[in-house]
Amino acid sequence: MHMDVTDLAINKLIILYILNKLNKPTTNSQLTQIILENNLINYFALQQYISELINTGFINTITDNKKQYLIISNKGIDTLNFFLNRIPDSKIEQLDDYFEHKNESTQKIEASTEYMPVKDGFEITLILKKGSKNIIEIKLPAKTMEEIETIRNNWKYKYEEIYTNLIESIKKK
């Protein structure tokens, strides 16, 4: 199968787009996994393109602890910015969706609390966040500051157990 020059250029731009999106040193196997998971380029062509992009200075290599990493060079960024409109919108949307989903699945869950005085004491809100999204928000009454501190500490150190038990209880038949 003969690939025309336009497809070759687009495939190389896709590689540069991914490296730019990652914005950190990446191993060849990590880059390969992303490309193959998205069914963008076949393995052998991909390895050839990576080699060519390194040889022409669009990708730099970094060696750390005997492991080689790839990173887009300034020349690669300039080229990508200039020719970005050549990558089909469908491919960019596919990759953006992939990275958005990947980021969501690897974001750390954070537990926090807020409280405010109300008529009969306090209302404490227990919050679990993943990135900027609230996963859960639970409002509880509390009578004293001591009770608030107990709830806050329990939430801080036991939120995973509490959340898991809550979800399991709600889903039980």
Show the tokens assigned to 36.
Answer: 């193959």
**Mind listing the pLDDT tens digit for each residue in 16-47?**
999 999 888 899 999 999 999 999 999 999 99
The per-residue pLDDT for range 136-160, each reduced to its tens digit, is 999 999 999 999 999 999 898 888 8
Rg, Å, the chain Cα set? 24
Specify the pLDDT at position 28. Answer: 93
The CA–CA distances, whole Å, from 52 to 11, 24, 46, 118, 134 equal: 12, 20, 10, 66, 44
CATH code for the part of the protein at 5-106: 1.10.10.10
The pLDDT value recorded for residue 104 is: 59
Check residue 1 and give its pLDDT.
45
How much is the average pLDDT of 114-120?
92
pTM above 0.85, yes or no: no
Q: Using pLDDT thresholds of 50, 70 and 90, give the confidence band for residue 2.
A: very low
Two structure tokens written together for 55:
């040889």
How many residues can be counted in the chain? 173
Domain spans of the chain, in order of start: 5-106, 109-171
